């Protein structure tokens, strides 16, 4: 299963994107702001002085990531987790209404006003179902993030 995310509105305090499933628009997304990340000392974390990451308030880098249903401890259930997010750990797709509900995760829902989503649980359940069904068929799922 192939998902693609185009970051459409990159604001100073949030990022709104459009999520597609197999090339068809599915829902909107909300992430922390996109920042210019540079790994000057090549340690893979973007946390050092001048590398650009603000902990809990930085979107992950564009790229293609495998998605696997993985236990999300704070929710106590399996959720879609992105694999291989350089400099970030535990990046999930989940529901939320504002950027306050994410540290680097991707929130899914319907964008109804600047920086806000609604109906997240509905969209996230559908995403979880699609990925779970793909995994049951032995298929991998991927998310390509573009700006």
Asked whether 17 and 29 are in contact (CB, 8 A), the reply is: yes
Task: Report the predicted TM-score, pTM, of the whole model to 2 decimal places.
Answer: 0.94
Residue 130 above 90 pLDDT?
yes
Show the beta-strand stretches assigned E in the chain.
2-10, 15-21, 24-31, 63-72, 77-83, 93-94, 106-113, 116-118, 141-146
Locate the domains of the chain by residue range. 2-131
Residue 97 above 90 pLDDT?
yes
Q: pLDDT per residue over 3-45, tens digit each?
A: 999 999 999 999 999 999 999 999 999 999 999 999 999 998 8
């Amino acid at each position: 299963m192939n998902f693609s995310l185009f970051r459409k509105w990159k604001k100073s305090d949030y990022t709104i994107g459009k999520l597609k499933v197999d090339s068809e628009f599915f829902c909107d997304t909300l992430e922390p702001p996109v920042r210019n990340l540079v790994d000057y000392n090549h340690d893979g974390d973007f946390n050092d002085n001048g590398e650009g990451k603000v902990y809990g308030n930085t979107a992950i880098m564009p790229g293609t990531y495998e998605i696997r249903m993985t236990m999300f401890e704070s929710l106590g259930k399996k959720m879609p987790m992105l694999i291989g997010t350089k400099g970030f750990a535990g990046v999930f797709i989940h529901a939320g209404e504002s950027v306050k509900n994410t540290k680097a995760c991707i929130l899914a829902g319907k964008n109804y006003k600047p920086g806000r989503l609604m109906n997240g649980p509905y969209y996230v359940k559908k995403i979880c179902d699609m990925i779970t069904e793909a995994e049951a068929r032995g298929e991998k799922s991927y998310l390509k993030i573009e700006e």
